[in-house]
Structure 1
Amino acid sequence: MSKLKKMPEFKTEAEEREFWETHDSSDYLDWNQAKPASFPKLKPSTKTISLRLPETLLDRIKIEANKRDMPYQSLIKAWLADEVNDSRRA
């Protein structure tokens, strides 16, 4: 493998961004030495949706959530996640 170039020092993030837009990182880094990164404490991004439910169904969900001492939206998300995970296993 050829000798890697010395990594430049940047004064600002903008200067660094501009540099990497015009240079190949493989000239400066040996990507064969790279290791996978894990960020377990990052929260997945969420998206707000509108969901129309019959009032009686929503009332029953709220009662179930209250029994479990959790917000009803969290209970709905948990139920949806369980169903999706179960369908993957099938």
Structure 2
Amino acid sequence: MRKSGYGGASNMDRLPVFATEDVAAEWFASHDTAPYMDDLEDVTAEFRALRRRPVRKSAGLRVRADYLEAIKAAAERKGIPYQTLVQTWLAEKLRQEAPDLLPTGQAA
């Protein structure tokens, strides 16, 4: 939906077509968009409130070198940091073996 009556950009001053989102972001960061208001669409969006992350503590853990290399390789296959993979595996095993020890809502 296009708005009218703002005194938008002339045909010569239309919003450019951007090759990538990065190019668009750079352009919008460095230009005043007020003259282009007629060219912009109204958008309605809903956002969920972000949950707070649980408090995390560091835990020093000695692991066999070959295990650590295997963990890192598995994480690389998934495209995630190896610490995230270890955290995921720990959570999965806790849910299986000791769900009663997890905070309410995390045992599922």
TM-score range, shorter chain: 0.5 to 0.7
CA displacement, residues 11-51 of structure 1 (integer Å, 9 cap, x when unaligned): xxxxxxxxxxxxxxxxxxxxxxxxxxxx8611110000100
Q: 2:73 — aligned with what?
A: 63
Q: Secondary structure at the match of 1:48?
A: coil
Query: Size of the alignment, in residue pairs?
Result: 52
> 4+ residue runs of structure 1 moved beyond 6 angstroms?
none
- Where structure 1 has 5 or more consecutive residues not aligned to the other structure, the ranges are 1-38
Deviation at 1:88, TM superposition (A): 3.5
Q: 1:84 — aligned with what?
A: 94
Whether 2:54 is the aligned partner of 1:44: answer yes
Cα RMSD over matched residues? Answer: 2.0
CA displacement, residues 36-73 of structure 1 (integer Å, 9 cap, x when unaligned): xxx86111100001000011110000000000000000
Q: Residue type matched to 1:59 in 2?
A: E
How far, CA to CA, are the matches of 2:98 and 2:63 in structure 1?
A: 25
Q: Residue type matched to 1:70 in 2?
A: I
TM-score, length-scaled by structure 1? 0.53
Q: Residue type matched to 1:84 in 2?
A: L
Percent identity of the aligned residues? Answer: 29
Higher relative contact order (CA 8 A, sep 6+): 2
Q: Which has the higher helix share?
A: 1
Q: Residue type matched to 2:69 in 1?
A: D
How far, CA to CA, are the matches of 1:49 and 1:88 in structure 2?
A: 19
